[in-house]
Each structure stands twice: as structure tokens, then as C-alpha cells.
Amino acid sequence: MTSTIPAPAFEYAQLSPMLIVFGVAILGVLVETFGPRGSRYLSQLVLGLGGLVAAFVAVVVLAWQSDSPHGAAVMGSVMVDGPTLFLQGTILVLSIPAVMVMAERRGDPGGVAFTPQASAIPGSVAELAATKAGVVTTEVFPLTMFAIGGMLLFPASNDLLTMFVALEVLSLPLYVLCGLARHQRLLSQEAALKYFLLGAFSSAFFLFGVALLYGFAGTVELAGIADAVAARPDDRGLAVIGAGMLSIGLLFKVGAVPFHSWIPDVYQGAPTAITAFMAAATKVAAFGALLRVFTVGLPGLQSDWRPLLWGIAIVTMLVGALTAVTQTDIKRMLAYSSIAHVGFILIGVIAANSVGSSAILFYLLAYGLSTIGTFAVVSLVRDSAGEVTDIARWAGLGRRYPLLGSAFALFLLALVGIPLTSGFIGKFAIFLAAIQGGATVLVLVGVLSSAIAAYIYIRVIMVMFFAEPPSDATEVVVAPGSVLTTAVIAFGAITTVILGVVPQPMLDLTTEAATFLR
């Protein structure tokens, strides 16, 4: 009697957010291929924003329908549960303003005869819609949509092969996007090359980890690996090595020390809108995958990976905060600051409890919104040569542009964790989870790192509002007519205050969404 292999089943409703985003990405490629050059920009913008909004609506419908089927999909390779839906919703909420900053441009829709004053903002991704040897490079939009699709799949992956595919789908477009800044071409291309080479090394470690875990458990499913570890507690050396190599790939993606060396160069060299997108959305996807691997696949190895994460979290917080102090470039300063925030989020992973998972979900949302707003402000500050990222050149900017300066100060205070901002609630939730998980020492290191970060951010605020600009420097101005970017900054500021003043509804939502299914 011969056994039959069941036909693959695709649960389209559960997969609808990802299907919408990938469908829009494919349509964007078709528009680039067959669409008239003069209409590509508007078509891509409408497709991109419309697709992201539709995907977010699909996530909300899945989350709030009591009869919606939550659980494994596509023969167990994708898991649709509370963390998946919350992380997917967060990625989409962050991607919409990121695409709006990318899309900021002025002038002829056909991309002909642009000038820095009347068209795209020089040095930003907005200028990707401008001329480049007479060709409109609006492919930035489908590339971004493919990256977002990979990010949606990454934290939902229920087996390691699907997770690897998602990792590559989100990474490959980012490598290209990092090299597309026209006014700082060499720096941008260097950033893309470094990101690509180091990303390839990290992917190799990830695959080696997958192979070793498969050799130990005979399966790549996370639940199957967990069962194999539980069944063979005295013979798990291969699993420990595999988990370590797998973790290298994931920790590289989140930017933890010592796998962080790419972040400052890539954040500085990439177009600012792409930097914002990477700093916010990519972190959400990577931490979602990291949390699922440790929570679902490797809980039996907690005694092995927890001490290592302790050391990595401590070094990440201190290195990020201390190195940021010495930076004179605003984008590099924010890059090292983001490394310190990775250490804070790792505290929630180390807590290894439901409170920690809930705190991570809230922190990722709060941090992402503040980060998008921060880089949106950076993209507007410029002189005749393009973006101005030298902190000394920002002197007096807050007095000349009080609303923009106040918004930037708010974002910086949120990143440091000042009360009545979303950052304070996020850090408080993380520290509370750590104390409950027996990691009080990490809380003390986190408080010390926050104090160092406070000096960094307050220094920038002092420069903006109380310092005099250099007399021999070209005047720094804010790019006029930037409606989309201004809307993004306003949205980031409002959500930063709301999550800081009235955080309870979102905390309740993250608590409900923090349970991982097997």
C-alpha cells in the first residue's frame, strides 16, 4: 500500500497581508517595464501607499475577527499568531511614512531637468525619481515593497528554511537601495558594498546553523527542534553549536555588538529615507524572528544562550552609548544610538517571559515611530550642497525653525527615555520584565547607558537652540515645500506623545499579542 503526499494547502486569508505587498511589488516591476516614463512616479507612489494601507487593513481584520483561523499555514511553514500580526502591523505602520519620505520630490513628473530648488531634495532618496542619465529611477518603490514583503514573512516563519528565504528577500533589495544616493555616490556605494559583503557572511553562518540543527533534530521546524532538544537533554552539543551560528545571522541583522560594524557606515552612506526605513522596520522584523527562534525553537537551550546574550546585551548598550558620544555626524550618532537600543531590546529577550515579549513589541513600535521622525527631520536640513549632517552646522537651527527643532528635540528625548514620551514607557516595560526575569544587573547597565545617551541627545538640543552658527559656513536651511515629510514628522511627534501619555491601550494590546503558538 503506497502512501500519498497531501497536496499543499495555501490559507489565502491568513497570508493576505504578505500576498498584497508582494502583489504590489510585482505590479511595480511591470509598471517599470511597460509604463510610460512620465507616469511611473505617480503610479508607483499610488501602488505603494495603497498596497501598504490595504495590507494593514488585512492585518487588522485578521487580528480582530474572532473566527479567523490563527495557527500554522502553508503546510506549517508560516505561523500566524498574535506576535506575527502585531509585528506585521508595526512594520506596515512604519513603512507607510518611510515610503512617504522616499517619495518626497518636486518638479516635472517625467524626471527631466530637475534642480535642487524646484525638484527633488538633493542627496535624498526623493532624487531617485529625478534624472540619472535621462532615466527615471522609480524602481526604488518596487524594491522597497519586496523588502517589506520579506520583513512581513521573517517573523512569521515557522521553520528555518522559510526564515532564510525571508531573510534574503528582505536583504537583497536593501543592498541595492543603500547604493542609490546620487549626491554622495562613493559613500553610498561603499555602504552598499559593506552591507552586502557582511550580510553574505552572516547569511552563511545562518545556513550553517540551520544545517547543524537539522542534523541534530532531523527537521527544520522550530517546534520539532524544541521537541528534539527536550528529548535528548544530555546529547545537545550539536544543537548548541547550531543555535550559536544561527544566532550570529540574527544578531547581525539587529546590529548587536560584535556584529554591528556595518551599521554606522551603512546608516551614514545610505540615502536618509532608506536609513530611516532600515533603522525602524528592519529591526522590527529581525527582532520578531529572533524572539520566535528563542521562544519557540530553543527554549530547552535557555541555560546555554541566556548567559551569552547577557554579555552581548551589556557590551551592546555600553559600546553604542559610549561611541555615540564621540560622533560629530548626526547620522553616525543616531547609528550608534540605535546599537545601544538593540541592547535594551535584548534585555527583553533575556527576560524569557511573557512580560518581556510584550515589552519588546511595545518598544519596537515606540522606537520605530520616533526613529522615522528623527531621520525625516535629518532629511530636511540642508544647504546648497545637499544634506547637512555635521552636528556643529545645526547651530541655531531650533531658533530659526522652532517647530522643526521642537519636534526633533521631542524625538531625541523619546530615544533617551524621558517621562511622558513613548521611549520612557518602552524602557520601563523592558526593565520591569528584566527584574521579573532575574536580570536586575542588566537594568543597572541599562540605566547607566541611558544616562550616557542623555548627554548625547541634550548636547544636540543645546546646539540647535543655544549655539551660534559658524560665521564662515554656508547657511543651513530647511527644505521648503516638503509636505509629505512634514506630515511624517507630525505623525511621529503625535504618536510619540500619545504612547507616552496614554500608553495603557497599546500595552494591553501587546500583552494580548505576546503569546507565540507552536
DSSP secondary structure string, 205-241?
HHHHHHHHHHHHHS--BHHHHHHHHHH-TTS-HHHHH
User: Within 13 A of 381's CA, how many CA atoms are on the CB side?
Assistant: 26
| Residue 518 in domain | no
Predicted confidence at residue 232, as pLDDT, reads 85
Within 8 A by CB and 6+ apart from 175, the residues are: 192, 195, 196, 199
Predicted confidence at residue 170, as pLDDT, reads 93
Predicted confidence at residue 114, as pLDDT, reads 27
Q: What is the pLDDT of residues 436-455, one digit of tens each?
A: 888 899 999 999 999 998 99
Distance CA 174, CA 223 (A): 30
Distance CA 498, CA 505 (A): 10
Instruction: For the beta carbon of residue 240, count every other beta carbon within 10 angstroms.
Output: 16
Distance CA 486, CA 495 (A): 14
**CB–CB of 391/402 below 8 Å?**
no
- CA torsion, ordered 362, 155, 285, 498, to nearest 10 deg: -20
Name 78's bridge partners: 73, 157
Q: Torsion-angle region of residue 434: left (phi > 0), alpha (psi -120 to 50) or beta?
A: alpha
**CB–CB of 122/482 below 8 Å?**
no
**CB–CB of 427/367 below 8 Å?**
no
Predicted confidence at residue 67, as pLDDT, reads 55
Predicted confidence at residue 371, as pLDDT, reads 94
| Residue 1 in domain | no
Predicted confidence at residue 119, as pLDDT, reads 38
Q: For residue 50, give its domain range.
A: 12-512
The reported pTM is 0.90
Predicted confidence at residue 3, as pLDDT, reads 55
Distance CA 111, CA 130 (A): 5
| Kind of pairing between the strands at 386-387 and 477-478 | unpaired
| Residue 4 in domain | no
Instruction: For the beta carbon of residue 118, count every other beta carbon within 10 angstroms.
Output: 11
Predicted confidence at residue 351, as pLDDT, reads 86
| Residue 301 in domain | yes
**CB–CB of 226/296 below 8 Å?**
yes
Instruction: For the beta carbon of residue 67, count every other beta carbon within 10 angstroms.
Output: 4
Q: What residue ranges of the chain have pLDDT lower than 50?
A: 1, 106-136
Q: Can you give the C-alpha Rg of the chain in angstroms?
A: 22
Within 8 A by CB and 6+ apart from 82, the residues are: 63, 70, 512, 513, 514, 515, 516
| Residue 452 in domain | yes
**CB–CB of 230/148 below 8 Å?**
no
User: Within 13 A of 14's CA, how many CA atoms are on the CB side?
Assistant: 22
Q: Dig out the grid coordinates for 352 from the structure.
A: 524569557
| Residue 333 in domain | yes
| Residue 7 in domain | no
| Residue 262 in domain | yes
The total number of structural domains in the chain stands at 1
